[in-house]
Chain A
Amino acid sequence: MRNIYMGVLGVAALTAGSIGPVFAADWGKYEVEDRRSGYTYAAKETRDIQDDDFENPAMIWVDDGSNLWNQVEGEAGKSCASCHNDADVSMKTAGAEYPKHSAKTGKMQNLEQRINQCREDNMKAKPFKWESSQMLAMTAFVRHQAKDQPVNVKIDGPAAPFFEKGKAFFEERRGQLDMSCKNCHEDNAGNMARANLLSEGQSNGFPTYRLKWQKAGSLHRRFRGCNSNVRATPFGYGSDEYVNLELYVAWRGRGLPVEAPAVRN
């Protein structure tokens, strides 16, 4: 019976008492229609860390990324800059538009995958491991160039069937706790789960410096964590399931500003 599993979260989580932010503040760019960035669910102190480029520890990854951008690697003797020149021009919107459908692979491709494709095909360099400090630096840097751009992913045309898969995943119950992403992040956004305030689970801030991780981390790392939390076997980094889910989650946050690298708890 599902009720047994619901009990694990405690009655407080799913009944009355939405302990969201007390002030019905005007969140400005962080709120679009009925969607709010995770920024609005964070404590003031956490938001202050994100807002200060010096204090935001994730900016160290952005700095590393900007060094990597200019670093020649691989047998083709190229760096990212060789083809893409100045990142603040060429990468102005990339961070807001991925995942995109790839004609080459016939399926959705996210930023990490696109970076590795460039490395392997164009630079003849070794791909980065998904959660390596270099990949985190690269994605933090590239996404950061799109800072404040509204998230804008295409879900029509060839992306449509993958969008539907991502949506189905989001709504499907899984794991020993038999819960779906929707149960927490849609049905209960603004409520507490144990001692955590549930956000809408938006992805506009990734890669994110999570105070819990004490380092920057990728969206797929978060997906894996969430799945583990409901005692479901997590899918792999870069798995089709997660890339499709990433498309759906990005669409859920359409219009929200790219905040990479954000600071969350």
Chain B
Amino acid sequence: MANVKARVKTPSSAKKGEVFEVKSLISHNMESGQRKDKKGNKIPRQIINKFVCTYNGNEVFSSDWHGAVSANPYLAFHVKAVDSGTLDLTWTDDSGAVFNKTAKITVT
């Protein structure tokens, strides 16, 4: 998938026990599988079908996406601050391609 870009926005620090918001955006065409090309052949479906976020290796958020999902999807979710460390966001699409972005958080 050419030119897939992901971005993440989190607060740089949070107090232990505090709930903070993680915002994510990925650019992806999300080919629906319903379109046909000029010759009448169906353009195969290629969408992101799974999103997972781990926090210091522990899965804190996971989502299965299906047909009709938005192109260039924005996803925001909340996480409870436990320890300082890394949030690892992974998007997987139908072709098996994996897109990844990390963010660091300091927990005081």
* Chain A contact residues, CB within 8 Å of chain B: 49, 54-55, 57, 60, 63-64, 133, 214-215
Contacts and interface: CB of A to CB of B under 8 A. Distances in A.
Interface stretch (B1-9, B12-20, B79-87, B94-102): B1-9
Given A60-B5, A133-B3, A55 B29 contact: no
B7 A214 contact: no
Contact of B72 (A60, A64, A133): A60
B34 to A, nearest CB: 13
Interface of B: 3, 5, 7, 9, 23, 25, 27, 29-30, 70-72, 74
A60 B27 contact: yes
A55 B7 CA distance: 10
Given A60-B72, A215-B71, A55 B5 contact: no
B5 A57 contact: no
A214 B72 CA distance: 7
A132 B70 CA distance: 22
Nearest to B73: A57
15 contacts: A54-B7, A54-B25, A55-B23, A55-B74, A57-B25, A57-B71, A60-B5, A60-B7, A60-B27, A60-B72, A63-B5, A133-B3, A214-B71, A214-B72, A215-B72
Given A54-B7, A60-B5, A60-B7, 10 more contacts: A54-B23, A54-B25, A57-B72, A63-B5, A133-B3, A214-B29, A214-B72, A215-B29, A215-B71, A215-B72
A54 B71 contact: no
B78 to A, nearest CB: 16
A57 B29 contact: no
Nearest to B23: A54
Contacts of B3: 64, 133
Nearest to A63: B5
7 smallest CB-CB distances across A and B, nearest first, come from A214-B71, A57-B72, A60-B27, A55-B74, A54-B9, A60-B5, A54-B23
A67 to B, nearest CB: 11
Contacts of B9: 54
B31 to A, nearest CB: 10
Nearest to A49: B74
A67 B25 CA distance: 19
Nearest to B6: A60
A244 to B, nearest CB: 31
A57 B23 contact: no
Contacts of B7: 54, 60
B71 to A, nearest CB: 4
A55 B25 contact: yes
Nearest to A57: B72
A63 B27 CA distance: 12
A214 B30 CA distance: 9
A49 B76 CA distance: 13
Nearest to B2: A133
A215 B23 CA distance: 20
A215 B70 CA distance: 11
A54 B9 CA distance: 8
B24 to A, nearest CB: 9
B4 to A, nearest CB: 10
